[in-house]
């Protein structure tokens, strides 16, 4: 699968283009907004490739860029593609319309994958002809730095397509996991937004400041989560392992879970107050350079994690 079409060239579509081109695929990049590819996506890709090269993450940024081709129509983007990654805006009607077009113009064997963050595939993939070759492949942004991809078949996706897609994603450097049954938000966003909802509750009810939430994650939870998950954290925090941890703290966990307000009804004042605090550090017009800074930090973290694993013989 060396001919890849990326449909939608926003934050995620342009990042996927880097993933595929870095792995040696020829990539066509299409967006319905005039100038979106040439004026925004390609310069952003060029900048990301410069940063990747500066950090030693890619050898030949120019060759990778040369494999990414702007196209001005969806049919021309997908007509020769062996794999299509859709990353248009998160809107059910838009996704249905795009999958109808993909089904019409992509070759019948082509895998059609969606980047949707939360919509179960069965709500829109069936708009495509031969819907059994369609599935969700949900990335984490930016996928050229964060390898996890959630592969989520719809009930009508054939197992062979799931296998081919998973194998392909692995080959281009990603770390796929299989979501075995459809669920809105898949795994990552259910975990992420459960935490964010409780954070809104804690700030909204005055238990702490917005910045304290970031500190709790940065200086606390994420220190361990960068290399082990919450189940292993628990396993290592009790002499009896995970079962011992639950023996000791299971009742407390249930009480806290009942008390958390993951359906907290936040209002516009709370949103404005948190935005105000964040914008003091990063004004909205400074988000692009701050994204580039974030990406350099992720590269540094991944380099450290790989070096540490080598040093420890893992
Ligand atoms: N931003 C994230 O962190 C993130 C992470 C994982 C998945 N996703 C998912 O990826 C998808 C894209 O998100 P994004 O953050 O890149 O959004 P974005 O707004 O940055 O980009 C979306 C792009 O889609 C284009 N578009 C809209 N309708 C189109 C159409 N009919 N045909 C072609 N292009 C069209 C827009 O012009 C825009 O450039 C969404 O489904 C989103 O939920 C986002």
Supply the DSSP string of the chain, one letter for each residue.
--EEEEE--SHHHHHHHHHHHHTT-EEEEE-SSTTIIIIIIHHHHHHHHHHHHHTTS-S-HHHHHHTEEE-SSHHHHHTT-SEEEE---S-HHHHHHHHHHHHHHS-TT-EEEE--SS--GGGTGGGSSSGGGEEEEEE-SSTTT--EEEEEE-TTS-HHHHHHHHHHHHHTT-EEEE--S--TTTTHHHHHHHHHHHHHHHHHTTSS-HHHHHHHIIIIIHHHHTTS-HHHHHHHTSTTHHHHHHHHHHHHHHHHHHH--TT----HHHHHHHHHHHHHHS-GGGHHHHHHHHHHHHHHHHHHHHHHHHHTT-
Select from 10, 35, 98, 112 the residue to mutate for testing ligand 1; criterion: most ligand atoms less than 8 Å from CB.
10
Quote the distance between the C-alpha of residue 273 and its chain's center: 27
**Per-residue model confidence (pLDDT) at position 314:** 86
Task: Return residue ranges of the chain for CATH 1.10.1040.10.
Answer: 188-281
Q: How far is the CA of 94 from the centre of ligand 1 (A)?
A: 10
Best residue for ligand 1 mutational test, from 7, 8, 117 (most atoms within 8 Å of Cβ): 8
What pLDDT score was predicted for residue 238?
Answer: 93
pLDDT means per 10 residues, the chain with 314 residues, are: 94 97 98 96 95 92 98 96 98 98 97 98 98 98 97 98 98 98 97 97 98 97 96 96 97 97 96 97 95 93 91 88
Q: Which CATH architecture has domain 188-281?
A: Orthogonal Bundle (1.10)
CB of 101 within 6 A of ligand 1: the answer is no
Whether the CB of 28 sits within 6 Å of ligand 1: no
Domain boundaries for CATH 3.40.50.720 within the chain:
3-178
Structure tokens at 301: 């973290």
Distance 107 CA to ligand 1 centre (A): 23
66 C-alpha to ligand 1 centroid (Å): 23
Alpha carbon distance 116, 144 (integer Å): 17
Q: At what angle do helices 42-54 and 11-22 cross, to 10 degrees?
A: 50
Q: Whose CA is nearest to atom 43 of ligand 1?
A: 117
CATH number for the segment(s) 3-178:
3.40.50.720
Q: Which residues lie closer than 8 Å to 252 by C-beta, 6 or more apart?
A: none
pLDDT of residue 1: 67
Helices 42-54 and 287-311, packing angle to 10 deg? 30
């Amino acid at each position: 699968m060396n001919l890849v079409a990326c449909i939608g060239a926003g934050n995620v579509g342009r990042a996927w283009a880097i993933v595929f081109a870095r792995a040696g695929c020829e990539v066509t990049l299409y967006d319905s907004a005039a100038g979106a590819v040439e004026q925004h996506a390609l310069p952003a890709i060029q900048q990301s490739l410069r940063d990747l090269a500066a950090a030693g993450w890619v050898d030949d940024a120019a060759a990778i860029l040369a494999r990414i081709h702007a196209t001005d129509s969806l049919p021309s983007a997908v007509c020769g593609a062996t794999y299509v990654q859709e990353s248009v805006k998160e809107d059910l009607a838009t996704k249905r319309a795009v999958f109808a077009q993909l089904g019409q113009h992509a070759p019948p064997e082509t895998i059609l994958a969606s980047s949707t963050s939360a919509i179960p595939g069965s709500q829109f993939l069936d708009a495509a002809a031969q819907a059994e070759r369609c599935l969700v492949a949900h990335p984490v942004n930016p996928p050229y730095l964060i390898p996890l991809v959630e592969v989520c078949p719809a009930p009508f996706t054939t197992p062979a397509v799931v296998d081919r897609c998973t194998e392909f994603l692995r080959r281009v450097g990603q770390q796929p996991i299989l979501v075995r049954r459809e669920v809105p938000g898949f795994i990552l966003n259910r975990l992420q937004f459960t935490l964010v909802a409780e954070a809104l509750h804690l700030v909204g009810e005055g238990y702490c400041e917005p910045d304290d939430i970031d500190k709790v994650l940065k200086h606390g939870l994420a220190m361990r989560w960068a290399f082990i998950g919450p189940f292993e954290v628990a396993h290592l925090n009790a002499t009896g392992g995970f079962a011992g941890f639950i023996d000791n703290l299971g009742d407390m966990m249930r009480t806290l879970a009942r008390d958390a307000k993951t359906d907290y009804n936040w209002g516009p004042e709370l949103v404005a107050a948190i935005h105000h605090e964040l914008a003091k550090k990063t004004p909205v017009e400074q988000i692009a350079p701050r994204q580039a800074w974030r990406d350099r930090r992720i590269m540094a973290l991944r380099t450290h994690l790989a070096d540490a694993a080598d040093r420890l013989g893992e």
